[in-house]
Structures are given as C-alpha cells and as structure tokens.
Structure 1
Amino acid sequence: MALEKNIRKVKDNVWKLQEGEASYSLKKYKTRSTAVKVEYVHRQLQTIRFPHIVPIISTEDPLYIMQPWIEGTKPVNFRKRVDRTDSLMALQALHETKEMIDWDASPYLHRYQLIDKWQERLERFIDNRNASENYLGKKTVDEIILYGKKALPLIKKQYRQPFGQTLLHGDVVHHNILRDENGMIRFIDFDLACTGPPGTELALWMHRVLPNIGYNLEFLLAEQSALNDLDNASKSMLLYPNELLREWLHLLNLPKNKQYNLARKLIPFTESALSSWPKLWYDVERNMN
C-alpha cells in the first residue's frame, strides 16, 4: 500500500493517516497469517455488533489493517476500581461471544498452549539466570525459579482443555484495553488472539491487576464477585510468577543501556512481588475448592 504524505509514523509498524477531517490508524503486520487472523476476528465481532472493539476498514494490501483513529482514548488504569470493573466486564463479554460464534472451528485461531508456553518461559529464565543475577542477586533469582518450579506441577494437575473454548484476546495488558471519550471499553491489538478456556484469560487479567492492588487476592475477589466462580485450574495459574519472568526476559533482550533504565523499575517491582508471594500462595490455595 503506497504511503501518502499525510501519514505520520507513530511507531515502527503503525502510522496515523489523515484524509480530510478523518483520521485512521494503519498497522503493517510482518506475516500475512497474523493480518488475516486479526481481520477475521474483527469481521466476526463486527457481524454480531460487538461494541468493545475498533472496527476495521478494508485495504488493498493484505499486510495492512486500517481502523478509525479514535481521539481521546486512554489505556485503563488497573489501580482504579472502575477500570478494573469495566475491563473485566468487557473481557467477559468477549468470551461470551462463543454463544454466537464458533471460535473453535476457525482455521485462523490456534489453541492457547499455556503449559508449554510457561514451561518454556521458565526454562529461558533459568538459562539466562547469570544475566538476571547481575541485577537481582542469586538469592532473588533462586526465589523466582523456586516459585515457578513449584507452581507448574500444580497447574498441570488442575489444567484441562475442556469443551466450550472461546476467543481469547491473548494480551490483556492495560495499553491494549482503552476507554474512549464516551466511556466505552475497546480492545485493540488482537495479534495474539487464540482460543482457550475463558478462565485462562481471566487468570491472566488477574496477573496484570494484582501488582496494582498489593497482590491482595481477597480484596479482588470481594470487589469482582464474578471471579469467585473461577475453576481451580484458573486459580492455580495465579501461583506462577508470570509477570516477573516475562519482564526480566524482556529486559535481557534489550541493549545494555536500556537494560539499566528498565532495571531501576523492575527491581522494586520484583521485591514487592516476592514479599507478597507467600501470602498470595496461601490465599490461592485456600480459595481452591
């Protein structure tokens, strides 16, 4: 697709396109398979008038996805109760689309392989432990690895691939969940969309939320009563130190000068998480049926 002079680059693969008074987001994908998947998901959701997305517009190049540029949107803030409540409700609504769309029959969506993904993530952290120790020290790295090794067998014991798979967004980080000027929650970046049990993604959402509320599981369950219906498999996922492993592996992939800047934020984040983990572990096990 030819890029016109009225296009402003936002980041490496995203541009803002201005046509008269209308503005659009233009995103280029590395692979056609991902672009086709993202378009398929949006087309299906648009068919049932699902409100929590930004509609897509056809382009001539299959590697590009175009959407209206919605001014005034802000990422949700998981420290705010209203954003926790509204983002959870929107996520549950996304999962409930399985009642109208047979996502599991889609040729474009793969099953979410949580166990394999988390096993591989822990192994990569162990393989790179020396680099992590330069920032955290041996004792802290040992502690992260211990929790990972203890959690995985418990998750495997509980985890099943039940019937009733649905669409999972795949990356429920706060900046992929926007609130527009009218207060509507909108999901963006369905690049990692897949199918799986709804409880899996609710647990991943909880992983994102818990650091923002002092890892207080009892508080979150009291505030968001729907989470009390999670099965043991989903609850057991909270035992795995997913955020710590992912963030440190991300840091180790950065250039050295950027590593030090991020480490200044990650070290206190890690200390807070590990100091809270024994109580979190106790609360999770107590809440499992």
Structure 2
Amino acid sequence: MKHKNGGDDLITNRLLNILKKSVPFKVNEIKQIRKHVYFVKTDHKPYILKGYSSLQRLYLQEAFTESLKAEGFHHSYSYYRILETPIYFNQKYFGWIEYIEPHRDRFSYQSSSDRKEGIRLLNRFHRTTKRLAKSYEMMLPRINLYEKWYERSSRFQKHIPLLRHYLKDQMINELMEWSKISLEGLKNENLNFGNDDLQPVILHGDVAHHNYLKSKSGNLYLIDFDLISIGNEGSDLLQYANRIFPFINWSMHELSKYEHINKYLNNRAFLLALMYPTDIFREWTRIIKDKTYQSPEKILPVMELTVDQFHLRRQLIKDLKNVVK
C-alpha cells in the first residue's frame, strides 16, 4: 500500500468532493496510489479505496475476504461497507478496504527470510481456500495454464521483428524453443501436477512481491485477490518459483530447500512448466502493448531480466531437459 505522487489531479479532486458529500465522516485527504486505488485519510481512520469494473467484482472481493476470515485466515485485509450503495465514479464501483500500516522494510524476494515466510503464508492460504473452493466454484474461473501460456507465446512470436532490435536471434530462438518444449510437454501431461489433484484450491493468481504486505507490527499479509481462480495449488507454487528464481541463481538445488514447492520437484508436469519463460514473455508483451519500449526507464529492467541471467537460465533448462527426457 505504497503511496505515489502523480495521477490525474482533476479526477482525484472530483473524487474527493464526492467522498466529502457521501460518507458519514470527515475526509481530510486523498492520494492516488495507482490507477483506481487511493489512500483516504479521515478523522475516523485511514482507508484504501479501490475501484472495480462492476458491482459483481466488488461484491466477490468483499465476500471472499470475509470467507477467509471466517475460516481462520486473518493474514489479509477486510472490506468495509461504509455506504449502502457503493460510490460509482469514473466508470468504477469503489470498495473501502482496511488500511494496514506498512513496515519500513518492505517484503522482498531478495530476502531469504522473506521468501521462506512468503511460501509458508501462501501454503496457509491454500489450506484455507481448499475448504472454500466448493462454495466458489460457480463464481470463479478454472485456471487454464496451457491456454494462457500458448496465447502469451503467440504474442511474443508476433513481436519478433521488433524484438530483434533489442535481442540477438539466438536468444529469441532459444526462448521460443523452451516455450515449445514446455507447452508440448504440458499438453501431453494434461497439466497434471499430481498432488491434491482431487482437492482444488482457490488460487491467488499473482504472487508478485507487491502482493505481500509486511505490517508495521511485523506481520505478513497476502493482499489483492483480483486474479483468484480454481485449480491445483501447484499453479501458484509454480509462479512463486518463477518469482524467486532470479534471487537463487536459477538453481534447482536452492529451490528444493523451499517447503511446499519441493514436493513438486519430482512431478514431470511441474518441471516442464518451470522451463516456460513466462516472466520474459510477460514483460516484453507488456511494454510493447503499452508502447513504452522506447523509454530507457521502461526498457532497461526488461533487458536486464532477459539478458543478465540468461546463462543461468540456460543451465537450468539444460538440467530440466535431462530430468524430463
């Protein structure tokens, strides 16, 4: 819940005026954190105000976080129903979220202790949502990792003429080869991660570092459930592995030290999925879609992600090929 300056001041001021006229307490200040998300300071207490594209999406988030708390998972925020009818502004329906004051030391995958605490919290989340999955199966989509990654590969391939201005042909060809091996293998394995296959969970869907919040008191919270879906816990654990790989030198030996992930390292489908260069494809597709690839500030992190540890990633792929052949 990090504050940022900027944003559309006019829109922020209009929203502030609406709040002052609508809520039953004094609103002192409003700051935009990111698009459609605001920090609201009141004489009552601070809140996070977040906009959703539909009432259904807002109500789903309210219900889901309430269900988590009811099942004993208290490591997240709560929603408050301040008004009987949510505020509708700028084509968004706004929900009021508990403000959790952050610790001065943010959660980071660079920290070994944070990485290990993060996987333990994710496992606790899965144990809880396993009990909730049946109740939400008609409201949430089932994850289809193959389809998602196939489309991502297709978009990356479509942009190869542009990518050649930044990446060597050999690197592009290797990335496409890894993608092909992974997707063909996953299709043959029918995405069977094996463990708990008959007991789906509600997946978080985006275990990026910014969706972990370390509070001022030192407690760790899991936040932002916009991408929840139904599926095998292995999908979240796979994403977690991909997030921490750059900080453990793309080492399978180091990855095996992480509880809850290590039980999947004998699973062929999971190992094939680890070969897929999801982070590289995702970030290049994003900056090309946003047309920000000509900005040094935007292109540099993506170049570093792709190039700086490529030799380590290549060795990982080589090791994985030997295991799954």
Normalising to structure 2: TM-score of the pair?
0.81
Residue in 2 that maps onto 1:39: 62
Residue in 1 that maps onto 2:19: 3
Deviation of 1:286 after TM superposition, in Å, equals: 5.7
State how far apart, in whole Å, the 2-side matches of 1:198 and 1:68 are. 27
> Residue deviations 1:232-278, cap 9 Å, x none?
32232111000000011111122347643222222232113431233
The 10-residue stretch of structure 1 (18-27 or 94-103) with the greater mean CA deviation from structure 2: 94-103
Contact 1:170-1:194 at 8 Å conserved across structures:
yes
Deviation of 1:216 after TM superposition, in Å, equals: 1.4
The 10-residue stretch of structure 1 (18-27 or 69-78) with the greater mean CA deviation from structure 2: 69-78
Query: Which of 230, 234, 251 is the matching residue for 1:216?
Result: 251
Query: Which of 42, 54, 58 is the matching residue for 2:81?
Result: 58
Q: Are 2:197 and 1:152 aligned?
A: no
State how far apart, in whole Å, the 1-side matches of 2:312 and 2:269 are. 21
Query: Which of 125, 143, 152 is the matching residue for 1:121?
Result: 152
With over 3 angstroms needed to count, the CA separation of the structure-2 counterparts of 1:208 and 1:55, relative to structure 1, is same
Q: Which runs of 5+ in 2 are unaligned?
A: 1-14, 21-26, 88-92
Residue in 2 that maps onto 1:255: 291
Residue in 1 that maps onto 2:281: 245
With over 3 angstroms needed to count, the CA separation of the structure-2 counterparts of 1:270 and 1:249, relative to structure 1, is same
Deviation of 1:113 after TM superposition, in Å, equals: 1.0
Deviation of 1:105 after TM superposition, in Å, equals: 4.3
Deviation of 1:87 after TM superposition, in Å, equals: 0.4
Q: Are 2:99 and 1:69 aligned?
A: yes
Q: Are 2:288 and 1:265 aligned?
A: no
State how far apart, in whole Å, the 1-side matches of 2:34 and 2:304 are. 29
Deviation of 1:80 after TM superposition, in Å, equals: 1.0
Query: SS at the partner of 2:226?
Result: coil
Percent identity between the two aligned chains:
23
Q: Are 2:292 and 1:276 aligned?
A: no
With over 3 angstroms needed to count, the CA separation of the structure-2 counterparts of 1:9 and 1:228, relative to structure 1, is closer
State how far apart, in whole Å, the 2-side matches of 1:281 and 1:79 are. 22
Contact 1:14-1:27 at 8 Å conserved across structures:
yes
Query: Which of 122, 133, 158 is the matching residue for 1:102?
Result: 133
Query: SS at the partner of 2:80?
Result: coil
Contact 2:293-2:299 at 8 Å conserved across structures:
no
Contact 1:75-1:178 at 8 Å conserved across structures:
yes
Q: Which runs of 5+ in 1 are unaligned?
A: none
Q: Are 2:251 and 1:226 aligned?
A: no
With over 3 angstroms needed to count, the CA separation of the structure-2 counterparts of 1:199 and 1:205, relative to structure 1, is same
Query: SS at the partner of 2:78?
Result: coil
Letter aligned with residue 160 of structure 1: N
Q: Are 2:242 and 1:207 aligned?
A: yes
The 10-residue stretch of structure 1 (168-177 or 17-26) with the greater mean CA deviation from structure 2: 17-26
Instruction: Mark the structure with the bigger radius of gyration.
Output: 2
Q: Greater share of helix residues, 1 or 2?
A: 1
Letter aligned with residue 192 of structure 2: R
State how far apart, in whole Å, the 2-side matches of 1:56 and 1:26 are. 10
Q: How many residues align?
A: 288
